[in-house]
Amino acid sequence: MIEDEAHDACLVEHTLKQEGFNFAFRRVETQDGFLRELRRFKPSVILSDHGLPAFDGFTALSLAQEKAPDVPFIFVTGSLGEEMAIKALKSGAADFVLKHRLPTLPSAVHRALRQAEFRVQRRHAEEALHSSEERYRRLVELSPDALFVQVDEKIVFINSAGVRLFAADGPEDLIGKAIRELVHPDYWPLVQQRSKRLQEGNAAPFVEQRLLRLDGSVVDVEIAAAPLVFGGRPAAQVIAHDITDRKRAEEEILRLNIDLEHRVVQRTGELEAANRELEAFSYSVSHDLRAPLRHIEGFVEILLATRAASLDEEAQRHLQTIAESSRRMGRLIDDLLAFSRTHRAELRKTRIQMKELTRSAIEDLRHDWENREVDWRLEVLPEVEADPALLRQVMLNLLGNALKYTRTRPKAKITIGGRAIPDEQVIYVKDNGVGFDARYAHKLFGVFQRLHRASEFEGSGIGLANVRRIIHRHGGKVWAEGALDKGAAFYFSLPLPPAPKNTKVSKP
């Protein structure tokens, strides 16, 4: 079993053993492990997840068809859309089972093993076509699928599986019967076309078709035919494999996908309604909550301007506290609205020179550091692909934090640099500020999470949450390192931009 989740493999093994299967089991996660076990373990059946971190099911299927073509291959996956399911079957998979429908796996394995046995027997049958009729009869009787011979579009021989397929009591009910009576009318033109191929000495490959049983019911089959000499006369050997179970499974998958599409439409509508409600809430926050704050600030200013002389020092201090709290509430509302907009803003990615963007952000923050001694150190910074406006917010937040938490230092040292790792560019901002307790680093990027008292360092606790949301929307990661009174380092990664295509310039 090709599976990176050991628990899923354990459930599969348990499900099969519950249904009476007695078997040895191997789980692999990599291509090398898969090829090694194909040679050493020699499996009777291969089960495979669709997508693994370093390997995928379709690659495994291709390798299995090359290295062990007779071993049936079954996808056992968490999700498989209709298009991928069809691709799996067309690519040669024996079947597929969804992980949340594991009780259907034993029957799928039974079918796959029967089909594998059928393929081996069919190959044997094809090799024996030029042998004697008696040897041919003995061989085809072993086939689990219907095999019959027709001469002049009438059945002259049929095996036991064929008798069962057509719901007959015995071969005598079918010998001499015209083929047209056993073919669904919709498929008779196809049968006539294939008959011409046989008359020209060419085999007719497997196609899906419908046959009629003697009781009038319809059966779905995969059917193929090859020219044959029977009793000294030109004939055709026909092999019909019952695919009723597979068709039923395909119809069930189609039904589930239609149901899924309906649910997606429903959930999309619910999401759109939720977004409209969020927009309305943001409007309410922006307008309805700001009005009382403006009133508080305004009337505090009036009191301080007109009644300051009659107020004692403690009363004036209380009014100043009220004014500062309302201003802080206003900043908090602004930060919340910015955080909300970040989630909904459309990404407009372009190539960005990080050194230029960083210098511009430092200049924007000049009023925070122009009267301080700050040692800005810009190391090597890469070119990245991101939304310029959102990435600017990230840098303003990180640089603003570095300035804020180095305020107690006689000389602030802030270093901005970058480095490349496989498939990603990492940018960092380091400072020599007050740092933080590394045990609580996981709290830094949460909304309203602060590791320092507001009386020591101002802020709403939303800036780093905004950083994380922006970087996650770009497909990157954020993390932090630090220690109390030893400074802090904040990192974020962005996927490497695609390499520019080589363009050929023709000579004049």
Q: Which residues contact 89 (CB under 8 A, 6 or more apart)?
A: 96
Q: Do 43 and 149 belong together in one domain?
A: no
Pairwise CA distance, residues 508 & 495, whole Å: 39
In a domain, 157, yes or no: yes
> Residue 160 belongs to a domain with what CATH number?
3.30.450.20
Q: Residue 446 has what pLDDT?
A: 66
Domain extent for 12: 6-119
pLDDT averaged over the chain? 84
Q: Do 177 and 222 belong together in one domain?
A: yes
Please give the average pLDDT of every successive group of 10 residues along the chain, which has 508 residues: 92 93 92 92 92 84 91 87 81 89 92 86 67 65 85 91 92 93 93 89 90 93 90 87 89 90 86 71 64 81 84 84 78 66 72 93 88 92 89 90 90 93 91 85 66 49 81 91 90 82 47
Q: Do 424 and 460 belong together in one domain?
A: yes
In a domain, 479, yes or no: yes
DSSP one-letter code for 100: G
In a domain, 124, yes or no: no
Pairwise CA distance, residues 457 & 462, whole Å: 14
In a domain, 502, yes or no: no
Sequential DSSP letters for 439-506: GGGGGTTSTT--SS-TTTS---S-HHHHHHHHHHHTT--EEEEE-TTS-EEEEEEEEPPPPPPP----
Q: Residue 231 has what pLDDT?
A: 75
Q: Residue 445 has what pLDDT?
A: 79
Q: Residue 505 has what pLDDT?
A: 43
How much of the chain is helix, strand and coil, in % rounded to 5?
A: 50, 20, 30
3-state secondary structure of 94: coil
In a domain, 501, yes or no: no
Q: Do 356 and 371 belong together in one domain?
A: yes
Pairwise CA distance, residues 162 & 147, whole Å: 6
Q: Do 369 and 483 belong together in one domain?
A: yes
Cα separation values, 298 from 78, 211, 332, 337, Å: 60, 87, 18, 23
Q: Do 138 and 202 belong together in one domain?
A: yes
In a domain, 504, yes or no: no
> Residue 12 belongs to a domain with what CATH number?
3.40.50.2300
pLDDT tens for each residue of 353-392: 999 999 999 998 888 888 889 999 999 999 999 988 889 8
pLDDT tens for each residue of 180-192: 999 999 999 999 9
Supply 207's token pair: 């196609």
Determine the straight-line distance between the first and last CA of the chain, rounded to whole angstroms: 59
Q: Do 136 and 213 belong together in one domain?
A: yes
Supply 212's token pair: 């009629």
Q: Do 227 and 256 belong together in one domain?
A: no
Q: Which of 119, 143, 158 is the last residue of a domain?
A: 119
The count of domains in the chain is: 4
Q: Do 22 and 64 belong together in one domain?
A: yes
Q: Which of 311, 342, 373 is the last residue of a domain?
A: 342
In a domain, 507, yes or no: no
Q: Residue 307 has what pLDDT?
A: 83
Pairing of the two strands 488-495 and 478-482: antiparallel
Q: Do 352 and 488 belong together in one domain?
A: yes
The angle, 0 to 180 degrees and rounded to 10, between the axes of the packed helices 313-344 and 290-306 is 160
pLDDT tens for each residue of 387-443: 888 898 899 889 998 998 898 899 999 999 999 888 899 999 999 998 888 887 777
Q: Which of 316, 342, 368 is the last residue of a domain?
A: 342
- For residues 10 and 36, the answer to whether their CB atoms sit within 8 Å is no
Q: Do 172 and 266 belong together in one domain?
A: no
Q: Do 312 and 218 belong together in one domain?
A: no
pTM over 0.75: no
> Residue 275 belongs to a domain with what CATH number?
1.10.287
